[in-house]
Structure 1
Amino acid sequence: MGWFWADPVAPATGARRNMPHQMPKDMSASPPPSCPMHKPGADALKPTAKPPTPTPESACPYTPGSPSEGAKEKTSSTLSKYNPLNFMFPDLSQEPAKDQTVALPTEREPSTIPKGTGDGNWEYPSPQQMYNALLRKGYTDTDATAIESMVSVHNFLNEGAWAEIVEWERRFGKGLARGWEICKKGEAASMAGADIGANEDVVVQPKLIRFQGRPKEMTPKAAWLQLMGWAFPEKFGTEPPFDRHDWFVQREYPPGEKKEVRYVIDYYSGPPEPTGEPVFYLDVRPALTPTQAVERMMRWGGDVWYRASGASVRENSKN
């Protein structure tokens, strides 16, 4: 779901925990089964066949081909079409498409997500750019009247994903020891501390360096949930995620040491509200590196311990 452009925009105001993008109440469209920008682009030009290399008379007359070189050349040609920061077309037009009958806005909305380069925030595509992208990817039957709602949902989900990442960084942005001090108070108490701004001044706000959509690659956690849903459909049954992203975030430790942290995001859709509004669920967590696996265990284990030990009951009795 993460369509961003890395063009210069107004100076960043810093990532905010509250999402400014409200879920639109009147919309008839939901995101496509997967962000079309993450599907493979047009086939690369076939590399020109190289002339056979002459061999000495004493050498073996059979000269095997070099498939790896051809594959490397083709891959390079395909990837060269995309911006390396987001694997998207860098030159999407703001002009109306051929035979387009509905006028679409060309204004692009800035996000609250700081760029890793430090020169402002990432910027969302305009409805016209998104429509052109869908057509360029082969979605020629796209309903142009649904594009604006699609953009609103798209922006809303990405702001929600970033808010989750900011919360992870608030806990572990200064290391595991401080992270455990926050997590052992339980999820509710930790979130309450975030709401009142506790210790916000000691954590440098994270930045999004780059991201990559991988809708066809199911995460191990999502695959396990699908297996559990097959075995126990009443308890774990759910549709597979309609998209998957990897976001690479810059974490900065005092006094300025920087580290790249990869986050994995699964996007799920749920049953609509009685009012007809669509429902989405995001599963945002650090990727399973040794350190980040400890972070995930601390956050989950801290909340379980807080409730199982009766700390939550004791806290409530004091109030």
Structure 2
Amino acid sequence: MGAASSRDAPDIQPRNQPAEAEASASESACPVPEAYRNPAVYNVYSQRINDPACPIALPQVDPRNNMPIEPNQMPSPGQRKLLSTSRATSDIPKGGTASTWTYPSPQMFYNALKRKGKDDGVTEDDMDSVVAAHNSMNEMTWQHVLQWERLRAHECGQPTLLRFLGRPHELSPLARLQSWRRGTLPFDRHDWYVDRCGKEVRYVIDFYFHDDKAGTPEAFTLRVRPAVDSLDAVVDRLK
């Protein structure tokens, strides 16, 4: 969702939903709200985490023991300072639910960087600003998605973010074309899957960092557009 939205950093994490864990096996006991017609609920790895028979989300579980997986909020080995475990709530509606996605805490972010070996030059003191940039970039991305979705407002007035996939090592066609022209390459790419009231549509997002503007709001830019997966997407792109 650079620090802002890279697989090199943790993506948005789904909020724990203990109140929803007692969903009845009866489909009638847990109907899909009208605004959220896609019953699927996914985690940050694009894995479905709810019972297909019931659209209400269940806790994410470890398939090895069927026990709930809790986010790692413990300090990493060698960590010198305690980091906040507080998690900010996003404004991005979470597909299949009536809630929103929740961002990682500074401790979760730091742990993910350490786990992936991407912590060179990163200190505990950097985490608050890194997490803030990550959250801001994702909020900005969603606003761009909503601008496109207004073209389909007659189909759905309340789109939600169903799932997303980081693809940092794959250039989108637009980024590849720009590379041929020796333009700036994106530091990350995401594919976001939006629930358009029961219809799943994919968006491609390229994230750019401009070294010559480092330290300014213009250092990060993004390009958001519908993936050309359907005739509707082609029409929207032409518009």
**Aligned partner (choices 110, 119, 122) of residue 89 of structure 2:** 110
Give the CA deviation at 1:103: 1.9
Match of 2:180 in 1: 227
Whether the 8 Å contact between 2:15 and 2:100 is mirrored in structure 1 is no
Q: Deviations over 1:68-95 (max 9, x none)?
A: xxxxxxxxxxxxx956169xx9644111
Task: Describe how 1:166-177 pairs up with structure 2 within 5 A.
Answer: 166-174=146-154
Amino acid in the other structure paired with 2:177 = W
Q: Deviations over 1:161-193 (max 9, x none)?
A: 000111111122326xxxxxxxxxxxxxxxxxx
Give the CA deviation at 1:139: 2.6
**Which is richer in helix?**
1
In structure 2, the CA distance between the partners of 1:85 and 1:265, relative to structure 1 (3 Å rule), is farther
Distance in 2 (CA, whole Å) between partners of 1:146 and 1:260 is 36
Distance in 1 (CA, whole Å) between partners of 2:160 and 2:83 is 31
Distance in 1 (CA, whole Å) between partners of 2:97 and 2:72 is 26
Task: Describe how 1:128-207 pairs up with structure 2 within 5 A.
Answer: 128-141=107-120, 142-174=122-154, 203-207=156-160
Amino acid in the other structure paired with 1:100 = Q
**Aligned partner (choices 193, 197, 211) of residue 164 of structure 2:** 211
In structure 2, the CA distance between the partners of 1:85 and 1:247, relative to structure 1 (3 Å rule), is farther
Match of 1:265 in 2: 205
Match of 1:122 in 2: 101
In structure 2, the CA distance between the partners of 1:168 and 1:272, relative to structure 1 (3 Å rule), is same
Aligned residues: 188
Whether the 8 Å contact between 1:271 and 1:278 is mirrored in structure 2 is no
Q: Deviations over 1:31-73 (max 9, x none)?
A: xxxxxxxxxxxxxxxxxxxxxxxxxxxxxxxxxxxxxxxxxxx
Distance in 2 (CA, whole Å) between partners of 1:83 and 1:224 is 28
Where does the alignment leave 5 or more consecutive residues of structure 1 unmatched? 15-80, 176-202, 230-237, 253-257, 299-319
- Identity among equivalent pairs (%): 40
Question: Does 1:247 pair with 2:192?
Answer: yes
Match of 1:294 in 2: 235
Whether the 8 Å contact between 1:213 and 1:245 is mirrored in structure 2 is yes
Superposition misfits of 4+ residues, deviation over 4 angstroms: 271-278
Match of 1:100 in 2: 79
TM-score normalised by structure 1 residue count: 0.54
Distance in 1 (CA, whole Å) between partners of 2:15 and 2:73 is 14
Distance in 2 (CA, whole Å) between partners of 1:292 and 1:83 is 22
Q: Secondary structure at the match of 1:118?
A: coil
Amino acid in the other structure paired with 2:232 = T
TM-score normalised by structure 2 residue count: 0.71
Where does the alignment leave 5 or more consecutive residues of structure 2 unmatched? 20-34, 36-43, 50-61, 63-68
**Which is richer in strand?**
2
